[in-house]
């Protein structure tokens, strides 16, 4: 019996990588939003506007980035489960045919 490549295992690895990229991108967006806010905090007019109300667009951007980070986390966790299940199935298959 020839075992060339375990596609389920590689699918799990690809899900892990995609989830990590998703988390990295969302974290970068959160960091850039924080940098934009701190760079603008020098202005007294901005401080007055900040006291009057929160910039809703930046708040929703941060919220959507946090949601993306959570989705990326779950994507990584599911990729790990797929890779583990595939590895266990392959091990069982090898034990059975050996």
Q: What is the mean pLDDT of each run of 10 residues along the chain (98 residues)?
A: 66 95 93 65 60 60 91 96 88 64
Distance CA 23, CA 4 (A): 32
Cβ-contact 26, 69 below 8 angstroms: yes
Query: DSSP letters along 29-88, please?
Result: HHHHHHHHHHHHTT-HHHHHHHHH---HHHHHHHHHHHHHHHHHHHHHHHHHHHHHHHHH
pLDDT given at position 20: 97
Q: At 11, phi and psi to the nearest 5? A: -65, -40
What the block records as the tokens of 59 is 């708040």
């Amino acid at each position: 019996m020839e075992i060339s490549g375990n596609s389920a295992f590689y699918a799990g690895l690809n899900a892990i990588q995609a989830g990590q990229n998703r988390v990295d991108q969302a974290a970068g967006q959160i960091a850039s939003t924080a940098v934009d806010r701190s760079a603008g905090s020098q202005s007294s007019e901005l401080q007055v506007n900040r006291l009057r109300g929160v910039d809703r667009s930046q708040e929703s951007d941060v919220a959507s980035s946090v949601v993306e980070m959570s989705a990326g986390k779950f994507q990584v966790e599911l990729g790990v489960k797929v890779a583990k299940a595939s590895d266990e199935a392959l091990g069982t298959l090898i034990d059975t045919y050996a």
